[in-house]
Copies of this chain bind each other. A is one copy, B any other.
């Protein structure tokens, strides 16, 4: 069965987005620092560690799951080539018909995380399912205990406010830390769930 991993960028103070998410600021105010390791910023370009982290995400994934806000603010960013190149499920109560964009089909799914995950697994084949965020979607998978792995990219910034990934959880979850790789734009952390 496909592995399931979360892949998300956070500020050092734990925010997955700054305040006031909009099409102009898809990651909220000041949030663009969070994705500098993917897209570069202020003349700084991603380095080998950043490229490795991005490749690990895209090469290992057979289907993505994202939230509706990520879809709404992301699509204009990602451009006509559709960015993903593989099936992408949008977890949302605001359903619409599938959206085909270049090689990517966005399928809108109104069920809870278990049911959406089952659909994504059916598409992913031997590859993994990647939960890409935003925070609200990611949190549902964390709380349901559905993740085999967390990949967290910590950007060197304190945003001060915005949307936290980790809110109060009911249970303690021990994890297994894997070696981190570092660039000036992000520290790339990986944790496996302990069996």
Using a CB–CB cutoff of 8 Å, the interface residues on chain A facing chain B are: 12-14, 18, 30, 33, 142, 150, 152, 154, 156-161, 165-166, 168-187, 189, 191
CA distance in complex: A72, B173 (Å): 28
Cβ–Cβ < 8 Å partners of A156 in chain B: 174-177, 191
Once the chains bind, are B187 and A175 in contact (CB under 8 Å)?
no
When A160-B173, A177-B182, A180-B182 are in contact, do A154 and B12 touch as well, CB less than 8 Å?
Answer: no
**Cβ–Cβ contact A182 & B184, under 8 A:** no
A170, A174, A187: which has the most chain B beta carbons within 10 Å? A187
Complex formed: what's the CA distance from A30 to B172 in Å? Answer: 8
CB distance from A160 to the nearest CB of B (A): 4
Residue from the set A150, A168, A180 with the largest chain B CB neighbour count within 10 Å:
A180
Looking at the assembled complex, report how far the CB atom of A170 sits from the nearest CB atom of chain B, in whole angstroms.
6
Beta-carbon nearest neighbor of A165 in chain B: B13
Q: Which residue, of A33, A156, A169, A173, has the highest number of chain B Cβ atoms within 10 A?
A: A156
26 contacts between A and B (CB under 8 A): A12-B150, A12-B152, A12-B166, A12-B189, A13-B169, A14-B166, A18-B172, A142-B158, A154-B177, A157-B174, A157-B175, A158-B166, A158-B172, A158-B175, A159-B172, A160-B168, A160-B169, A160-B170, A160-B171, A161-B169, A176-B184, A177-B183, A177-B185, A179-B182, A180-B180, A180-B181
